[in-house]
Structure 1
């Protein structure tokens, strides 16, 4: 007797639940929306249980639908990882690793660890996506990526922290900026007197700076808001204002003499961590597991007191 848990139908259900609508799932899968709707309806009929609630502008999973969507995601990831392990057993020298990272890690990641990894494993391929903190966490938890590099990640029971290192948020400015010449840790109240470039709220840096503002009862209004770390660094280079970043995210500019980093006199900003994360319980294929070990051992962001070099 055929199982009612048909892979194709489960895939349609998963995408509809993940994206929040049948139409979005259909667009993502390049099929007609009626196909997705019929397949989910057939799955509900076969199982005898309602899987999604159809709302005005989308769908929402029932308890049973959420269970099946999560199981399908885990089954898909486990199947891909198992196939990768079988290839290794057969002696195939190939594999693929999906990484998602905050933008601030890119220079550190690309400057040495990946180059040395490819020297040893030239046939392996990589996908590197850049995202904000919330999207890094979600992408790893949902098995869309093997490994995530994230800053100021909140606790999440779905994730395992493979490595963590304290990397305080610093004030970043041009070398001739008045705050760069004062010396010593800079109080946020002094920083508030200067134009500030902020990252969007989905970035861990902005989230913790906002918490420090509340704790210190200081307001740091944005002269510039962006989703790019490069943009806030370039803003600081002009000398018109300042920004806030961990030292490793500005290390190339500091080495070039175009920016300086200064400690901040705010307890919250000294306790922030850079983390390497994987999904809890996921058995990584060999290529991903080897790369994970390389990143932990060689990236400066995961060694306190040793910021990334240019």
Structure 2
């Protein structure tokens, strides 16, 4: 494709990414009419409508999706080329973006520190967000890699590694439930002060699935969007649900204990390290991937 067409694809790409022609024009610092004109010319050249316009903005047609896939692939290949040239100079520059669920944060300190020591000129960025947002960033090439817990199936992502990480009940050692030795039923946990994460979290989605299967509805005392608060709440007499890798330090220090839950729904969830299917990872992203798998408890099987 010509340089002119590349520019037109860029205008189309930004309109879809930002949700409207006006937003794309603001971002590109051009008039909205210029963006509309370039997209119209691109549609004429390709012989297919690429955008559907709605009151709330624009979205791609099936043909538009294919153009977006081409453009993302080309950007990815360009990045790999530049990165391979940098690798010849010993990874002197570049960047790696990692999107991760909040539950992975405690386990990231060691591998990220080791990576930055070995490759101090590589810029690292970590985006902390919910499961669905991690997947979106990976699929749309905003992040090279993603760390997710129990993600929904998506044909656009590739899982480089996955490990079973059961969801457990987390309580303080002096909580009445801490004496239980058999797996606990989900029903009745809200008789205690139960705290649960928000619906965007993979754990809450697992709980919702279990509720549907059991025909119950839990009424949590606390709902919040941070694992730090959930763990603190449990240390002070509450109850919450999470995999052990999220509370590894608290278990080691004796502040929390993990208790098994009944139901396969809670024993089967997995952690996944993902990238977009078909994306060739840069040298920097590939080396970070290896370090994450080596160092993170989230990718070590539970005994």
| Aligned mate of 2:253, from 256, 263, 276 | 256
Instruction: Check the 8 A contact 1:5/1:43 in 2, yes or no.
Output: no
**SS of the residue 2:188 aligns to:** helix
**SS of the residue 2:56 aligns to:** coil
1:48-73 C-alpha deviation (Å, 9 max, x unpaired): 43221222221122222222122112
Aligned length: 303
Residue equivalent to 2:188: 190
- Distance in 2 (alpha carbons) for counterparts of 1:72 and 1:194: 52
**SS of the residue 1:176 aligns to:** coil
- Distance in 2 (alpha carbons) for counterparts of 1:89 and 1:52: 41
- Distance in 1 (alpha carbons) for counterparts of 2:91 and 2:116: 16
After TM superposition, list the pairs within 5 Å mapping 1:89-108 onto structure 2.
Answer: 89-108=88-107
1:164-183 C-alpha deviation (Å, 9 max, x unpaired): 11100011122222222333
Provide the aligned C-alpha RMSD in A. Answer: 2.1
| Aligned mate of 1:282, from 279, 282, 285 | 279
Gaps of 5+ in 2: none
**SS of the residue 1:6 aligns to:** helix
CA change 1:32–1:253 in 2 (3 A) is farther
Name the stretch that deviates more: 17-26 or 134-143.
17-26
Residue equivalent to 1:297: 294
Residue equivalent to 1:80: 79
The CA deviation at 1:15 is 2.2
The CA deviation at 1:27 is 4.4
Instruction: Check the 8 A contact 2:50/2:60 in 1, yes or no.
Output: yes
| Aligned mate of 2:162, from 150, 161, 164 | 164
- Distance in 2 (alpha carbons) for counterparts of 1:202 and 1:268: 18
CA change 1:34–1:228 in 2 (3 A) is farther
Instruction: Check the 8 A contact 1:4/1:46 in 2, yes or no.
Output: no
Gaps of 5+ in 1: none
Residue equivalent to 2:119: 121
- Distance in 1 (alpha carbons) for counterparts of 2:77 and 2:267: 38
- Distance in 1 (alpha carbons) for counterparts of 2:99 and 2:224: 20
Do structure 1's residue 20 and structure 2's residue 19 form an aligned pair? Answer: yes
CA change 1:265–1:86 in 2 (3 A) is same
TM-score, normalised to structure 2, is 0.92
CA change 1:304–1:52 in 2 (3 A) is same
Name the stretch that deviates more: 155-164 or 112-121.
112-121
- Distance in 1 (alpha carbons) for counterparts of 2:70 and 2:183: 49
1:84-110 C-alpha deviation (Å, 9 max, x unpaired): 112223555333211111100110111
- Distance in 2 (alpha carbons) for counterparts of 1:197 and 1:252: 19
Instruction: Check the 8 A contact 1:160/1:278 in 2, yes or no.
Output: yes
Instruction: Check the 8 A contact 1:14/1:73 in 2, yes or no.
Output: no
The CA deviation at 1:210 is 0.8
- Distance in 1 (alpha carbons) for counterparts of 2:33 and 2:290: 45
Do structure 1's residue 238 and structure 2's residue 236 form an aligned pair? Answer: yes
CA change 1:30–1:191 in 2 (3 A) is farther
TM-score, normalised to structure 1, is 0.90
